[in-house]
Structure 1
Amino acid sequence: MTFAMPSLRVYRATDDLAREIVARLVRWGLVLLGLAIVALGVLIAPLPGPGGIPVIVVGLMIVLRNSFYARRQFVKFQRAHPKMVFPIRRLLRREPEVLPVFWQQYLRVERLVLPKRARFAVKVRRRFMRRR
């Protein structure tokens, strides 16, 4: 009775080098894809509606996940302006909270743009919360 020995693959330094090169190429490709999506969002932004902003955010998410330099710049910006970056960080999480971020930003814009007597989002929220 003869048993065949399973062949063990010997990993070499060239295999590790090839994996590293492929990983870097993929990372660079994703960064370029993210930058292209950001450029597309900038082109779409002048059109009516909020079409450009979500596209820009998706492109930035791709770039931030794959570029160490962009991530460092983002952290520096976050330390300088934490209130501005917090909503973006909430959207970059694994399970992003899209509706709460949208609502919070809507309230901020309403507070900046409308006088106190013309703001209606807070009144609607209070009316809705009382019914529960």
Structure 2
Amino acid sequence: MLFKYIAVFAVGISATLAQTIELGFPQNGDNFCPGQEVVVQAIQPESLASCIQVGIALAIDDCVNGSCPDPAEALGSVLYAGSWTPENHPPGGFYQNFTVTIPSYLAEGPAIFTLTHLCLLGAAPYPFLEYRNATVNIV
């Protein structure tokens, strides 16, 4: 029984240390027009976890009747999918910028912008998938 509690605690600590990516831009409340080019910033914060990068996806989806879809179930329109190789930009830390275009067919109103990240985490690597979101406005 004690082993079970230790295992659950270890998984919780691992998940805390494994926060390996942040969405620098866009942020909640930012406004975008359909067809607009946007520079998205993916940030790699300081982390104690060893992570072999696999890649990221950037996507946007309409929020219908004030309810945004769960990114774990559907990402919406994929704006970028590929490698992620953040570089050090002193004093800003490690990040990479991506220029994407907001789809022209998005409806006016709230939308969810999602950064999806996949890496192989730990000394005996296991797949680690995480999402970072910003609720933005299509105007």
Shared fold (TM-score, shorter chain, > 0.5): no
Relative to the length of structure 2, the TM-score reads 0.25
Higher relative contact order structure (alpha carbons within 8 Å, sequence separation ≥ 6): 2
Which of structures 1 and 2 has the bigger CA Rg? 1
Higher strand share: 2
Relative to the length of structure 1, the TM-score reads 0.26
Higher helix share: 1
